[in-house]
Structure 1
Amino acid sequence: MNAEAQWPDYEKNPNAEEFRKLFVGGLDTKTTEETLKEYFSSYGSIETCEIMKERNNSAKSKGFAFITFANTDNIDEIQKNRPHEIDGRKIETKRATPKQQQYWATKKLYIKDFPKDMKEEELTEEMRDVFAQYGTIINIKLIKDKPDAKDAQGAGSGGGALKGFGFIEFDDEDPVDKCNLMRKFKIKGSEAHVSKAYPQDKNAGRGRGGMYYYDYEMYPYDYYGPPNAYSRPYGRYGGGGGGGGGGRGDYGYGGYDFYPSRNYPRGGGGGRPYRGGRY
Structure 2
Amino acid sequence: KIFIGGLPTETTDFDLKNYFVRFGVLADVVVMKDKLTGNGRGFGFVTFEDPEVAEKVVAARHTIRGRSVEAKLAIPRGEAPGPRSDPSDRVTKIFVGGLASTVSEADFKNYFSRWGKIMDAQIMVDHNTKRSRGFGFITFESYKSVEDVIRIRNHEIKVFMFLF
Q: Amino acid of the residue matched to residue 124 of structure 2? A: N
The structure with higher relative contact order (CA 8 Å, sep 6+) is: 2
Question: By percentage of residues, which structure has more strand?
Answer: 2
2:73 aligned with 1:95, yes or no? yes
Deviation at 1:269, TM superposition (A): 7.4
1:263 alignment partner, SS class: strand
CA distance in 2, matches of 1:56, 1:103: 34
Deviation readout 1:147-172 (Å, 9 max, x if unpaired): xxxxxxxxxxxxxxxxxxxx262xxx
| Equivalent residues, number | 115
Per the alignment, residue 19 of structure 2 pairs with 39
**TM-score (norm: length of structure 2):** 0.57
Gaps (5+ residues) in structure 1? Answer: 1-20, 111-166, 170-175, 177-196, 199-233, 244-260
Larger Rg: 1
CA distance in 1, matches of 2:42, 2:71: 12
Cα distance, 1:30–1:102 mapped onto 2, change above 3 Å: same
2:47 aligned with 1:68, yes or no? yes
Deviation at 1:68, TM superposition (A): 1.1
2:30 to 50, 57, 76: 50
Deviation readout 1:182-216 (Å, 9 max, x if unpaired): xxxxxxxxxxxxxxx46xxxxxxxxxxxxxxxxxx
2:21 alignment partner, SS class: helix
Deviation at 1:96, TM superposition (A): 0.8
1:52 alignment partner, SS class: strand
CA distance in 2, matches of 1:78, 1:52: 20
Q: Amino acid of the residue matched to residue 36 of structure 2? A: N
Deviation readout 1:11-42 (Å, 9 max, x if unpaired): xxxxxxxxxx1111111011111111111111
RMSD: 3.2
2:2 aligned with 1:22, yes or no? yes
In percent, how many aligned pairs have the same letter?
Answer: 27
Runs of 4+ in 1 over 4 A off after TM superposition: 268-273
